Structure 1
């Protein structure tokens, strides 16, 4: 299922957070949103998973106006991992993961065998099966993040929306998670701060600054020396990864002092 943001504008309390954002995510494509803090990335995502209604513009999934669809249908089609999705109740890991099936259940129906096996398979894939009986509040931040990703995948959505999914994850689990996304048939819109991870994971990247889309294209087209300097205010050297061919950025913390 494809995802389209068509002229999305969001204004809250007189502040324009996102301005005329148009971006298409094709079926099975992974598109990343990058930009400085406060550039409107998370605000745009909130319009997709329906916790925020655009002031103007339309979000479409599969060509349908998202805002006109029943909430249950949306919940079956779109799964989201937000920055504040942890919760404060000490459910077990298995219980939290099983909550991903909620949009598909009616009444008090228990999970059937296929759904139980799905939960077990996803937990194993994310390396959290051994935590199934642990309370989520006893987990580390990285472990809890993987539990929330598992919950989203168990939902069996067609569109996956992720806001900084690599938060709290160590390097190994960052790579494993993003490799999982890259090899997935899902349509993925993901916010990332790490430009090198975005280059390695995303088919295309959209760059936001001040709520506006200033560039969109492949990592090679977007992650240039001039753009990174103008948008992020840092100096970089762009090199090609020797194994994958992806562009990778080498950062300069400060220019070398001049010598007299």
Structure 2
């Protein structure tokens, strides 16, 4: 199912957080949003999972406008992992994961055999099956992050929206999670700060700066030294990964000059 952001703008307290952002995520593909802090990445995602109403423009799920769908229906189609996905109550891991089935159940309907199987499979996919009976407040930040990913997968969405899903994860689980996302078959929109992970995990990248989409395309076409310097203010050398051929950035750690420029 395609996801389309059509000229989205968000204005809050007179400040434009997004400026006519248009982006298309084809069915089953993974598109990453990259850009400096405050460039509008999380704001765009919030419009997709309905935490924010855009000031103008539309979000379409397939051929339907998102606002035309009931909240229950949109929750059946779109699952989100947010930056502030805190868990304050000491539910067990399996109880938190099971909450992902809520949009598909009525009232106090109990989980059936299929729902329980979905929960078990999702926990195994993100390597938390052994934590099923543990209270989530006893877990590390990385373990909790994987619990929230499992909850999103259990939702059986058509579209997955993820804001910094690799936060708190060690290197192994970062790689495993992004590999999983590439192979779920879901339409995925993800915000990543690590440009090398974004290049490896995403089919297409959109670069945001001050609320504007300044570039979009394949990682190879987007991650050029010129664009990275213009948007992020750092100097890089781009090389190819020896196994995958993906572009990878080598950063220059030269100290900034006294006038604030990083120009040698």
CA offsets, 1:116-158, max 9 Å, x none?
A: 0110111111110111111111100000000000000000000
Residues in 2 aligned to 1:127 and 1:248: alpha-carbon distance in whole angstroms: 27
Once the two structures are superposed, what CA deviation does each residue of 1:30-74 show, in whole Å capped at 9, x if it has no partner? 000000000000000000000100000000001111011111100
After the TM superposition, which of the residue ranges 48-57 and 117-126 deviates more from structure 2? Answer: 117-126
Q: Normalized against structure 2, the TM-score is what?
A: 0.96
Q: Distance in 2 between matches of 1:232 and 1:147?
A: 32
What pairs with 1:129-144 in structure 2 (closer than 5 Å)?
Answer: 129-144=129-144
| 1:256 CA drift (Å) | 10
Q: Which runs of 4+ in 1 moved over 6 A?
A: none
Contact in 2 for aligned 1:145/1:168 (Cα 8 Å) = yes
Structure 1, unpaired ranges of 5+: none
User: Contact 1:86/1:148 (CA < 8 Å) preserved in 2?
Assistant: no
Task: Write the mapping of 1:217-236 to structure 2, written as runs, cut at 5 A.
Answer: 217-236=217-236
**In 2: Cα distance, 1:85 partner to 1:241 partner:** 33
Cα deviation code 1:205-234 (max 9, x no counterpart): 000000000000000110001000000000
Identify the residue that residue 19 of structure 1 maps to in structure 2: 19
The normalised TM-score by structure 1 is 0.97
RMSD over aligned CA atoms reads 1.1
Which has the larger displacement, 84-93 or 9-18? 84-93
Equivalent in the alignment of 1:213: 213
2:161 is matched with which residue? 161
Match of 2:241 in 1: 241
SS across alignment from 2:51: coil
**Match of 2:17, SS?**
strand
Distance in 1 (CA, whole Å) between partners of 2:35 and 2:213 is 9
Whether the 8 Å CA contact 1:16–1:211 is kept in 2: the answer is: yes
Structure 2, unaligned runs of 5 or more? 258-264
User: 1:45: which partner in 2?
Assistant: 45
In 1, are the aligned partners of 2:87 and 2:136 still within 8 Å (CA)? Answer: no
- Secondary structure of 2:134's counterpart equals coil
Secondary structure at the counterpart of residue 36 of structure 2? coil
What does the per-residue CA deviation read over 1:214-255, in whole Å, with 9 as the maximum and x for residues that have no partner? 000000110001000000000000001110010000000116
Q: Which residue of 2 aligns with 1:201?
A: 201
Q: Find the residue that maps to 2:28 and give its secondary structure.
A: coil
Instruction: State yes or no: 1:114 paired with 2:114.
Output: yes
